[in-house]
């Protein structure tokens, strides 16, 4: 009887621990992810399938509004992309549509009618058409957005209708915010509630669309462009690796891994948020690097920060420049950001400084959590509100 009671107690403890692990701090997105996942909307009629890529006979290309730095692809309306945050919007009339991809590295979300007709998530589909059916024969909006960070360039082949009517794309959002940074800006591992993640778990838990950049943009009815890369810094990268691939060296490229490809034309931004430095000051200096300690790194970082933001000001002369300092990386980083803010003000730039508090960092590998991204977004929104008090009153707030 004692043994039986002991077993009951042990079983209850195991169940309780499992419930905590699954529903609390240890929750992770399913990993590895399924290639295709349909989330039904209110109408609950959406169907999706991955089909072999066929020729374009019988397909009508949708004119899409493309956002994000990329290069033109091999066919009209197609793009090669690698920077995070790439997304496209289109409109059509009909009961079905398809998306063409050649992509072994990314995760995508396709949203129909802003979610009213559901969403489709696609993970590493390879060369495939994502065919979506079950829609009413009405006018529909579609957005496809990259959720993951691309370890290599990938191909977006465009949006199509087979039976239906292509409509003009949605009008441009009345504002554009550019976010420049590293994995914290990308949203690496942001949906996880557990810090220990393997590679597949980190991929499954990363959702760039939930990071602070898209949150801020949505609050102002603005579009967003993201120039960010995990591990990249301003004068040095994480742990001193790839010294030739810092953000200033990569910034102008259409694809971070290809310096020879020209980017498609990009509109100037209305706000530019610069959030670089966590990798400069957040990893140990290595013997092969030229700085013996952070105090010697500080002057070079400060000079590079001022030069980098000046360049963004020349490209976006009417933009508000927001310097976003991750305060937990220490006084050297914060001091450099304060100095840059002062110099820019003396030079007549419109700029704001936001210094973040210590974050909980419960995302994968100690990256910001969804809670952290909400905190960062709120602070940025307050700073932009203070600098541009009429923005939200005059702007149409769009929640994608």
> If pLDDT is split at 50, 70 and 90, which confidence band does 259 have?
very high
- In this structure, are 182 and 158 located in the same domain? no
Three-state secondary-structure class, residue 120: strand
Q: Is the pLDDT of residue 164 over 50?
A: yes
42: confidence class by pLDDT, cuts 50, 70, 90: confident
Domain boundary among 167, 186, 213: 167
pTM: 0.91
Question: Average pLDDT of 128-135?
Answer: 95
Q: Identify whether residues 338 and 356 lie together within a single domain.
A: yes
User: When comparing pLDDT for 366 and 31, which is higher?
Assistant: 366
Q: Which among 135, 167, 199 is the end of a domain? A: 167
Which ranges in the chain belong to alpha helices (H)?
2-23, 183-186, 199-205, 212-219, 247-250, 278-281, 294-315, 331-346, 370-387, 391-394
Domain identity same for 385 and 259: yes
Q: Give the separation between CA 180 and CA 244, rounded to whole angstroms.
A: 18
pLDDT at 9 over 70: no
Q: What are the two backbone dihedrals, phi and then psi, of residue 176, each rounded to the nearest 5 degrees?
A: -135, 130
291 and 208 within one domain:
yes
Q: Other C-beta atoms within 10 Å of 338: how many? A: 16
Look at residue 57 in the predicted model and tell me its pLDDT. Answer: 72
Q: Are 169 and 64 in contact (CB under 8 A)?
A: yes
- Domain assignment present for residue 293? The answer is yes
Domain end (from 167, 188, 209) = 167
The b/e string for 202-233 (b: 16+ C-beta within 10 A; e otherwise) is: bbbbbbbbbbbbbbbbbbbbbbbbbbbbbbbb
Any domain includes 10: no
Q: Is 2 part of any domain?
A: no
Please say if the pLDDT value at position 24 is more than 50.
no
Q: Residue 94 has what pLDDT?
A: 95
* pLDDT at position 393: 56
Q: What is the pLDDT of residues 222-232, one digit of tens each?
A: 999 999 999 99
**pLDDT exceeds cutoff 80 at 5:** no
Q: How far apart are the C-alpha atoms of 277 and 333, rounded to whole Å?
A: 7
Asked, for residue 25, whether it belongs to a domain, the answer is no
Asked whether residue 15 is assigned to any structural domain, the reply reads no
Mean local confidence (pLDDT), 281-293: 96
**Is there a single domain that holds both residue 77 and residue 214?**
no
Strands 119-123 vs 87-94: parallel, antiparallel or unpaired: unpaired
Do 201 and 306 lie in a common domain? yes
Q: Domain of 132: which CATH number?
A: 2.60.120.260
pLDDT digits (tens, 9 = 90+) for 73-124: 999 999 999 999 999 999 999 999 999 999 999 999 999 999 999 999 999 9
Q: Is residue 27 part of a domain?
A: no
Compute, in degrees rounded to 10, the torsion defined by CA atoms 53, 110, 84, 149. Answer: -70
Q: pLDDT class for 43, splitting at 50, 70, 90?
A: confident
Q: What is the pLDDT of residues 52-76, one digit of tens each?
A: 887 667 899 999 999 999 999 999 9
- CA atoms within a 13 Å half-sphere pointing along the CA-CB vector of 89: 16
Do residues 162 and 225 share a domain? no
147 and 250 fall within a common domain: no
Going by their DSSP bridges, the two strands 79-81 and 87-94 should be labelled as unpaired
Whether 248 shows a pLDDT value over 80: the answer reads yes
DSSP string across 208-220: GGGSHHHHHHHHT
Instruction: Look up the domain containing 67 and give its range.
Output: 36-167
pLDDT at 11: 36
Q: Does some domain include residue 24?
A: no
- Does the pLDDT of residue 29 top 70, yes or no? no
Q: Does any domain span residue 11? A: no
- Identify which has the larger pLDDT, 42 or 9: 42
DSSP, res 19: H
Total number of domains in the chain: 2
State pLDDT tens for residues 186-231: 999 999 989 999 999 999 999 999 999 999 999 999 999 999 999 9
329 pLDDT more than 70: yes
Which parts of the chain are beta strand (E)? Answer: 36-39, 47-51, 60-61, 65-67, 70-72, 79-81, 87-94, 97-103, 107-112, 119-123, 126-133, 138-146, 154-161, 164-167, 176-181, 223-228, 271-274, 320-326, 351-356
Write down the pLDDT at residue 172: 81
């Amino acid at each position: 009887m004692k043994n039986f009671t002991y077993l009951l107690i042990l079983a209850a403890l195991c169940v309780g621990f499992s419930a905590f692990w699954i529903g609390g701090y240890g929750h992770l997105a399913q990993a590895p992810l399924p290639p295709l996942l349909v989330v039904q909307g209110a109408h609950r009629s959406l169907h999706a399938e991955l089909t072999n890529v066929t020729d374009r006979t019988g397909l009508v290309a949708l004119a899409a509004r493309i956002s994000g730095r990329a290069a033109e692809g091999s066919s009209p309306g197609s793009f090669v992309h690698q920077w995070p945050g790439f997304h496209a919007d289109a409109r059509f009339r009909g009961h079905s549509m398809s998306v063409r991809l050649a992509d072994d590295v990314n995760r995508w979300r396709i949203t129909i009618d802003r979610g009213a007709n559901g969403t489709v998530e696609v993970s590493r589909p390879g060369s495939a058409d994502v065919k979506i059916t079950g829609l009413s024969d009405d006018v529909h909006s579609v957005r496809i957005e990259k959720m993951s960070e691309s370890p290599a360039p990938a191909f977006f082949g465009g949006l199509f209708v087979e039976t239906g009517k292509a409509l003009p794309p949605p009008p441009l959002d009345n504002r554009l915010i550019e976010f420049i940074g590293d994995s914290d800006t990308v949203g690496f591992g942001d949906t996880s509630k557990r810090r220990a993640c393997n590679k597949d778990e980190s991929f499954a838990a990363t959702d760039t669309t939930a990071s602070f950049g898209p949150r801020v943009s949505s609050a102002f009815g603005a579009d967003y462009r993201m120039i960010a890369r995990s591990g990249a810094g301003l004068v040095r990268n994480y742990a001193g690796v790839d010294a030739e691939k810092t953000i200033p060296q990569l910034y102008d490229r259409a694809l971070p891994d290809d310096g020879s490809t020209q980017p498609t034309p990009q509109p100037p931004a209305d706000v530019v948020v610069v959030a670089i430095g966590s990798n400069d000051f957040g990893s140990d200096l290595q013997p092969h690097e030229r700085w013996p300690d952070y105090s010697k790194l500080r002057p070079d970082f400060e000079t590079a920060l001022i030069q980098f933001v000046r360049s963004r000001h020349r490209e976006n002369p009417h933009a508000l420049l927001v310097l976003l300092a991750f305060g937990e990386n220490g006084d050297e980083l914060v001091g450099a950001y304060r100095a840059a803010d002062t110099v820019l003000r003396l030079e007549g730039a419109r700029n704001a400084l936001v210094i973040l508090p210590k974050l909980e960092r419960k995302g994968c590998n100690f990256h910001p959590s969804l809670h952290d991204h909400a905190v960062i977004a709120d602070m940025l929104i307050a700073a932009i509100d203070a600098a541009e008090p009429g923005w939200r009153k005059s702007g149409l707030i769009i929640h994608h």
